[in-house]
Amino acid sequence: MTEARFFEVLLWIWLASAPVIFFSLFFIAAPYGRYRRGGWGPELDNRVGWVLMEAPSPVLFAVLFWLGPHNGIATAWAFLAMWLGHYIHRSFIFPLRMRSGGGMPLSIALFGLLFNLGNAYLNARWLFHFSGGYAEAWLLAPQFVAGVAVFGVGFGINRWADHVLRSLRAPGETGYKIPRGGLYRFVSSPNYLGEIVEWCGWAIATWSLPGLAFALWTFANLAPRARAHHRWYHESFPEYPSERRALIPKLW
Ligand code: NDP
């Protein structure tokens, strides 16, 4: 099988599996964080788990950038900066700052690792090889400009919302509290909303099927979890604000 054929098959598997993941996760909450439970095999420290599953993504993306024949163009550097801007934080800074001392099933970390390898491969190989390269003029294309703006807004929301959650616990604390203020007035999981907006921005800026697949996967992963968090907050805190929605302000 040629690499082009492999890429095509993997991309279609990626696109087709997003709806399967979406519907499955409404029935089975991924067993990390507040849904951590037995029966998922051996566990490892959750900070180690986050590094293990996320770090391969920026590394593989950077290697494929370096190997790609179309990496000399400014547009390629812009995509590299966006990817690394997100993933260096997610892989190394976010886990080290987490205030949760729990464990995570190794099986979940390995699933995340596999997803991140496939996702980084599809996106980087498309951008720096199979697309034929994005010309410098793409930097001024409406898709790129709008996509980068959306990506930036999502990135800002995600970082801010994760910071609010982290600030709820003093060092050593492990319980849960009701987050308040900003977008938390409207939705239970603005960190997930930000992440989804961010990768929608990526899909627009790259105007590509791998970018779209990533946005769909992010939604498939996080929308069911946002609903589960919302229900969990209502069950755990009788005083939980009733006007707050799960993920989309005023709607859902
Ligand atoms: P959560 O919102 O469940 O938790 C984030 C952190 O905040 C955890 O350390 C958690 O502790 C803590 N926390 C959450 N709620 C509270 C609360 N009410 N009181 C005190 N502490 C709280 O997010 P995830 O762990 O699921 O995800 C982390 C990041 O990774 C997010 O930014 C998310 O967008 C991103 N992500 C992206 C995915 C994608 O497909 N692109 C998939 C999954 C995550 P504890 O661990 O103890 O629950």
DSSP string computed for 197-245: HHHHHHHHHHTSHHHHHHHHHHHHHHHHHHHHHHHHHHHH-TT--TT-B
pLDDT of residue 100: 73
- Has residue 172 got a pLDDT over 90? no
Mutate to test the pocket of ligand 1, among 191, 197, 225 (most ligand atoms within 8 A of CB): 191
Nearest-CA residue for ligand 1 atom 34 is: 192
User: Is 116 close to ligand 1, i.e. is its CB under 6 Å away?
Assistant: no
What Rg, from alpha-carbon coordinates, does the chain have? 19
Taking residues 92-106, report their average pLDDT: 89
Which residue's structure tokens are 């034929």? 132
Q: What is the mean pLDDT of the chain?
A: 96
User: Is 158 close to ligand 1, i.e. is its CB under 6 Å away?
Assistant: yes
53-85: per-residue pLDDT in tens? 999 999 999 999 999 998 889 999 999 999 999
Mutate to test the pocket of ligand 1, among 25, 92, 99, 100 (most ligand atoms within 8 A of CB): 100
Taking residues 113-117, report their average pLDDT: 98
Amino acid in position 24: S
pLDDT of residue 72: 87
User: Is 102 close to ligand 1, i.e. is its CB under 6 Å away?
Assistant: yes
- Has residue 174 got a pLDDT over 90? no
Taking residues 185-210, report their average pLDDT: 98
174 versus 246: the higher-pLDDT residue is 246
- Has residue 247 got a pLDDT over 90? yes
pLDDT of residue 37: 93
Collapse the DSSP code of 114 into the 3-class scheme (helix H, G, I; strand E, B; otherwise coil) and give the result.
helix
Nearest-CA residue for ligand 1 atom 39 is: 218
Which residue from 59, 203, 62 is spatially nearest to 128, judged by alpha carbons?
62
pLDDT of residue 171: 86
Under the banding of pLDDT at 50, 70 and 90, the label for residue 6 is: very high
Q: Which two tokens stand for residue 121?
A: 């491969």
pLDDT of residue 180: 97
SS (H, E, C) 151-199: HHHHHHHHHHHHHHHHHCCCCCCCCCCCCCCHHHHCECCHHHHHHHHHH
Under the banding of pLDDT at 50, 70 and 90, the label for residue 102 is: confident
User: Is 162 close to ligand 1, i.e. is its CB under 6 Å away?
Assistant: yes
In contact, 125 and 64? CB cutoff 8 Å: yes
Which ligand 1 atom lies nearest to the CA of residue 189?
2
Under the banding of pLDDT at 50, 70 and 90, the label for residue 21 is: very high
Taking residues 91-115, report their average pLDDT: 93
User: Is 100 close to ligand 1, i.e. is its CB under 6 Å away?
Assistant: yes
Percent of the chain with pLDDT over 90: 95
Nearest-CA residue for ligand 1 atom 40 is: 218
In contact, 65 and 80? CB cutoff 8 Å: yes
| Separation of alpha carbons 160 and 148, rounded Å | 18
- Has residue 99 got a pLDDT over 90? no
Nearest-CA residue for ligand 1 atom 24 is: 33
pLDDT of residue 205: 98
Our measurement of the distance from residue 151's CA atom to the centroid of its chain's CA atoms, rounded to an integer in Å, reads 12
User: Is 119 close to ligand 1, i.e. is its CB under 6 Å away?
Assistant: no
Which ligand 1 atom lies nearest to the CA of residue 36?
48
- Has residue 101 got a pLDDT over 80? no
In contact, 107 and 38? CB cutoff 8 Å: no
Q: Which two tokens stand for residue 249?
A: 């302000």
- Has residue 107 got a pLDDT over 80? yes
Percent of the chain with pLDDT over 70: 100
| Separation of alpha carbons 222 and 212, rounded Å | 15
| Separation of alpha carbons 191 and 226, rounded Å | 9
User: Is 103 close to ligand 1, i.e. is its CB under 6 Å away?
Assistant: no
Which ligand 1 atom lies nearest to the CA of residue 162?
32
Amino acid in position 144: F
